[in-house]
Structure 1
Amino acid sequence: VEHLVRLVDDLLDVSRISRGKIELKKEPLAVSAIVQRAVETSQPLIEARHHAFTVHLPPEPVYVEGDLVRLSQVVANLINNAAKYTDAGGCIRLSVEPADDKIFIRVRDNGRGIDPSALPGLFQLFYQVDRTIDRAEGGLGIGLSLVKSLVTMHGGEVWANSEGRGQGSEFVIRLPCLRESLVCPVSYPADSKPDEGSLRILVVDDNRDAAQSLSLLLSSEGHEVLQAYDGYTALEVALAERPQVVLLDIGLPGMDGYAVARALRQHPALKMTHLIALSGYGRAMDREQARTAGFNGYLTKPVNFDELQSALTQPSFPDRIPG
């Protein structure tokens, strides 16, 4: 049933594109957010086939202008395609590579590969490289055609490379790079300037309303505030902006707060950054898990702003999380 639903959805999308009925909701996007959403979509298939899957993102944040839902759909289709045609236990690698004013998203596998003579027709609607493949696995030849159409609508290109059968394959998306940052500091009121006690704080929460409300409160106290709405973007912003404090929600989708904290602690430049966990749970085991992940403090939601201010004004943070 799931396979049938996916095929029908793809057919409807192809029909809408051919009739010019799809409208892209373009906005500045962190490429990491696109990748995260795509990986979440494809994760069940990857896990079911026991693939070794790796993601490589650039150290600095990179941005494109596009529709998050559609670009995530494009990348997910390529990951799914790699998973389908890579035998159980195989390897799939997704990488993001900026080059001048372009962004390259590459999905590489060590699967069955493609005969070079088949590459030119690969993105044609209903085209199938091997018609003997079980249709439950091979589909109807819709996904790659949809990928090409959506990438073209974003001003990009997509192509495939393979040295032949049994040699694996690589699919490459090239998109225009957007220079301006998606995550901008929250500005202070015109008559307010940060005082000597101000901090650069990164607020990370997938609930945008909560993140923005907390950021406004902190900025009204004279702090410089940055925002991120997922773990991957939080890592990019932290590496680029080097905040003194990170207020990090634990319950993030995909890459949770514990994983983000561990990743931050692996970077020498961020080892002294103060990490404060924000969580809806206050059990001893939750606090201990946060301490192990590298957090300096732990606050339960809804956050008491007086307690938060007290944590921010402490001259030093505790080495362990109080019970």
Structure 2
Amino acid sequence: MRQPKEVLTTGEVAKICNVAPRTVSKWFDSGKLRGYRIPGSKDRRIPLDQLIRFMKAHSIPLDGLDTGQVRVLIAERDTDLGAALTTVLEKNPGFEVTLVRSAFEAGARSEAEGPQVMLVDVSIPGFNGRETVRSIRNIPSLRECALIAMVDRSGDVSAEGLRQQGFDDVLEKPFDSAAMMTAIDARLGSATAAGD
């Protein structure tokens, strides 16, 4: 995976945020966007971590930004499980995680954020497996997104049925963090190999 730039110019930030360079300068000068000036010049530099903080705080989509991290969207209605999955992934600095609790929010955030991996609780109200897969695959930036279903082992939805609907993998609840990481790594490995 290519390493992203750690420090950006105002022009680079403007392109990422889809605004004029002067707007970035105003954000910087007002203290909203933190950074520093090059000694002996008026040029401004913005560290990548400060740009990400600013973009998240102001709901600016991160899809224009290559952070070098794997973007993961978790759609899980169980608050405790969603928080636990997020914590496990965020312990690894290679992951940027977004947690949502509804099918509607999953659709809206996936299009805005362009995740590379989606973990989807198939018991979310309003969820339709085949429709979810079709919708995601119809968005050009999400065609290569790894779709991993999460299903209750005791439920009436089969893992094989979800794979036939187009999910790349299925995790049966309860599962441990190692199983989740293995599923994510396997999907990312196959996506990388397909792109080579």
TM-score under structure 2 normalisation?
A: 0.57
Q: Within the alignment, does 1:200 sit opposite 2:74 as a pair?
A: no
Moved over 4 A (4+): 282-285
Partner in structure 1 of residue 164 of structure 2: 292
| Pick aligned residue for 1:213 from 84, 100, 104 | 84
Please provide the CA RMSD for this pair: 2.8
5 Å-filtered alignment, 1:295-314, equals 295-314=167-186
How far does residue 235 in structure 1 lie from its aligned partner after superposition? 0.7
Partner in structure 2 of residue 260 of structure 1: 132
5 Å-filtered alignment, 1:167-186, equals 180-181=58-59
Give the secondary-structure state (helix, strand or coil) at the position aligned to 2:125.
coil
Give the secondary-structure state (helix, strand or coil) at the position aligned to 2:77.
coil
Give the secondary-structure state (helix, strand or coil) at the position aligned to 2:133.
helix
Give the secondary-structure state (helix, strand or coil) at the position aligned to 1:298.
strand
5 Å-filtered alignment, 1:5-84, equals none
Q: Hey, which of these two has a bigger chunk of helix by percent?
A: 2
- Offset from partner CA, 1:46-103 (integer Å, 9 cap, x none): xxxxxxxxxxxxxxxxxxxxxxxxxxxxxxxxxxxxxxxxxxxxxxxxxxxxxxxxxx
* Whole-Å separation in 1 of the counterparts to 2:180 and 2:96: 15
Count of paired positions: 127
* Whole-Å separation in 1 of the counterparts to 2:83 and 2:165: 25
* Whole-Å separation in 1 of the counterparts to 2:75 and 2:129: 9
Counterpart amino acid of 2:147?
A: L
* Whole-Å separation in 1 of the counterparts to 2:157 and 2:124: 18
* Whole-Å separation in 2 of the counterparts to 1:255 and 1:283: 15
- Identity among equivalent positions (%) equals 28
* Whole-Å separation in 2 of the counterparts to 1:249 and 1:220: 21
TM-score under structure 1 normalisation?
A: 0.36
Moved more, 213-222 or 281-290: 281-290
* Whole-Å separation in 2 of the counterparts to 1:277 and 1:235: 15
Uncovered stretches (5+) of structure 1, i.e. residues with no partner? 1-178, 186-194, 318-323
* Whole-Å separation in 2 of the counterparts to 1:202 and 1:232: 13
Counterpart amino acid of 2:133?
A: A
Partner in structure 1 of residue 110 of structure 2: 238
How far does residue 220 in structure 1 lie from its aligned partner after superposition? 0.7
